[in-house]
């Protein structure tokens, strides 16, 4: 991925967490293409051979093992932190982050590029926002609270930090914003609310571009950058695009209030300690034993076998809010400071995802 300044990555020693994830895999390839020397942190050897074949060095250690991480980080210029374990509690993720951040300081890391999330903002997704929007509201999901706390530590810390706040990342391998939505269409109908809202989506390669730009920004202190696509699009346009690619699926609009009443009262994220569901615990074990890709392929196969093929997928509370929201996320700061220019319109993003979706769902 070439842009003005990418030559500054040549020879740089870059340490990446979350390297086998959806975003991490694309980032590793782009870093190696730019001439960086890349070390990937993995919890196990699952996925290690593929990374090593590309030219990356692989280190296996638990993210919370501070001493092991500090040893692995020494000699690196940049830490790119993408990892977040959605199958673990927010408390565990925060503990791991604290260990990583402490290890980075001991190892003399000069810069951290950290992937946070647009969900940290109080007004997301219902109002327009930029980096000056408030991040003060208590509550919300444990994931949101963990991301806020990580941002606070980075902003107050001694290491130069670029905190990237992507919106909804879609593209080949996006578990929710591509795979799950297309799975719903492949097995029947996706139900959407009326009136319908806007999708603040961003194609995965545009997020990679932003990460690379943040890695070479000359006068970085501690800054936040919202990363989204060129313009929000109607949710129906994104989903209809997926449906056209696989040749299956329908969209159905139902009144927002009808869908909301169907779901019952909103969950209270502040009621008691956070616990993991049985599905999350089984998922964590399955991914450990089989590897992420094999386990998720098994889950998809089971879903297809039990599906009648004509069922409708109704949005849960979280998706219903997103499907109906009208807020827009400004990328003006990222454009000005990073030189970020999203290259993928919805049409181009769908075209870049088409072969992947046909192979998976066609």
pLDDT at position 176 is 92
Calculate mean pLDDT across residues 319-324. Answer: 98
Maximum Cα–Cα distance for the chain, whole Å? 57
Whether 193 is in a domain gets the answer: no
Q: Show Cβ contacts of residue 331 under 8 Å, excluding neighbours closer than 6 positions.
A: 226, 227, 228, 340, 342
The rounded Cα 204 to chain-centroid distance in angstroms is: 9
What gap in Å lies between CA 217 and CA 222, rounded to an integer?
11
| pLDDT, position 265 | 79
DSSP character at residue 228: -
- CB 28, CB 19: distance < 8 Å: yes
| Mean pLDDT value across residues 200-228 | 98
pLDDT on residue 287: 46
Reported as a pLDDT band with limits 50, 70 and 90, residue 2 is: low
Neighbours of 147 (CB within 10 A): 27
Measure the CA–CA gap between 82 and 44, rounded to whole angstroms.
16
- 2 Cβ contact list (under 8 Å, min separation 6): 34
- 17 and 157 in a single domain? The answer is yes
Q: Residues 39, 40, 43, CA angle at the centre, nearest 5°?
A: 140
Predicted pLDDT at 248: 95
CA 32 – CA 25 distance, rounded (Å): 11
How many CB atoms are located within 10 Å of the residue 352 CB? 15
The string of pLDDT tens digits covering residues 236-288 is 999 999 999 999 999 999 999 999 999 987 765 554 555 544 445 444 444 44
For residue 153, the 8-state DSSP code is: H
Q: Is the pLDDT of residue 200 over 70?
A: yes
Instruction: Kindly state whether residue 349 falls inside one of the protein's structural domains.
Output: no
163 and 25 both lie in a single domain? yes
181 in any annotated domain: no
For residue 296, the model assigns a pLDDT of 55
> Is a pLDDT exceeding 80 seen at residue 289?
no
What's the average model confidence in pLDDT over 55-72? Answer: 97
Helix (H, G, I), strand (E, B) or coil at 188: strand
The answer to whether the beta carbons of residues 78 and 110 sit under 8 Å apart is yes
In a domain, 14, yes or no: yes
279 plus 337 within the same structural domain: no
Same domain, 164 and 275: no
Q: Give the C-alpha separation, 240 to 243, whole Å.
A: 5
Number of structural domains the chain divides into: 2
Is the pLDDT at 322 greater than 90? The verdict is yes
Residues 53 and 126 in one domain: yes
| pLDDT score for 297 | 52
175-196: average pLDDT: 96
180 assigned to some structural domain: no
Q: Between the CA of residue 98 and those of 64, 93, 102, 239, 252, what are the distances in Å?
A: 8, 9, 6, 38, 45
pLDDT at residue 109 is higher than 70: yes
Residues 251, 257, 258, 263, Cα dihedral to 10°: 100
Backbone angles phi, psi at 240, to 5 degrees: -65, -35
Quote the pLDDT of residue 362. 76
Q: Does the pLDDT at position 224 exceed 70?
A: yes
pLDDT at 114 exceeding the cut of 50: yes
Higher pLDDT pick, 294 / 82: 82
**Nearest 5°: phi and psi at 24?**
-60, -40
pLDDT the model gives residue 311 = 78
**Residues 161 and 300 reside in one and the same domain:** no
- The parent domain of residue 318 ranges over 234-323
- Is residue 299 within 8 Å of residue 190, measured between CB atoms? no
Least confident of 46-50, 169-173, 194-198, 308-312: 308-312
In this prediction, residues 15-44 reach a mean pLDDT of 96
Q: Tokens 């606070």 belong to which residue? A: 152
For residue 179, is it within any domain?
Answer: no
Q: Indicate whether 133 and 167 sit together in one domain.
A: yes
CA distance 86 to 105: 26
Q: Look at residue 361 and tell me whether its pLDDT is greater than 50.
A: yes
Instruction: Look at residue 125 in the predicted model and tell me its pLDDT.
Output: 97
Q: Which of 90-104, 133-147, 163-177, 282-296 has the lowest mean pLDDT?
A: 282-296
CB-count exposure of residue 120 (10 Å: 0-12, 13-18, 19+): buried
Question: pLDDT digits over 164-177, tens only?
Answer: 999 999 999 999 99
């Amino acid at each position: 991925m070439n842009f003005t300044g990418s030559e500054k990555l040549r020879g740089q020693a870059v340490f990446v967490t979350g390297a086998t994830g959806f975003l991490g895999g694309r980032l590793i390839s782009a870093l190696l293409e730019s001439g960086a020397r890349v070390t990937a942190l993995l919890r196990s050897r699952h996925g290690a051979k593929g990374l090593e074949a590309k030219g990356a060095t692989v280190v296996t250690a638990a993210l919370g093992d501070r001493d092991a991480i500090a040893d692995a980080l020494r000699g690196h210029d940049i830490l790119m932190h993408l990892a977040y374990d959605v199958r673990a509690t927010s408390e565990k993720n925060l503990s791991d982050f604290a260990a990583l951040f402490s290890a980075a300081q001991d190892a003399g890391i000069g810069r951290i590029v950290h992937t946070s999330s647009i969900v940290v903002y109080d007004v997301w997704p219902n109002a327009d926002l930029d980096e000056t929007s408030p991040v003060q509201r208590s509550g919300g999901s444990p994931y949101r609270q963990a991301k806020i706390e990580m941002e606070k530590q980075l902003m107050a810390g001694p290491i130069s930090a670029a905190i990237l706040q992507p919106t909804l990342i879609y593209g080949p391998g996006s578990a929710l914003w591509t795979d799950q939505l297309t799975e719903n269409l492949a097995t029947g109908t996706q139900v959407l609310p009326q009136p319908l809202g806007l999708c603040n989506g961003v194609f995965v390669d545009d997020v990679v571009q932003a990460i690379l730009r943040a890695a070479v920004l000359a006068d970085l202190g501690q800054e936040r950058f919202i990363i989204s696509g060129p313009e929000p699009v109607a949710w129906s346009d994104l989903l209809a695009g997926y449906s056209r690619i696989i040749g299956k699926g329908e969209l159905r609009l139902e009144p927002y209030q009808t869908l909301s009443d169907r779901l019952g009262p909103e969950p209270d994220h502040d009621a008691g300690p956070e616990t993991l569901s049985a599905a999350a615990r089984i998922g964590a074990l399955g991914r450990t034993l089989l590897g992420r890709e094999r386990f998720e392929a098994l889950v998809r196969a089971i879903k297809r076998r039990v599906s009648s093929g004509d069922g409708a997928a109704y949005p849960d509370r979280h998706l219903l809010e997103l499907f109906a929201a009208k807020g827009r996320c400004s990328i003006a700061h990222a454009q000005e400071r990073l030189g970020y220019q999203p290259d993928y319109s919805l049409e181009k993003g769908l075209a870049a995802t088409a072969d992947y979706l046909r192979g998976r769902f066609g």
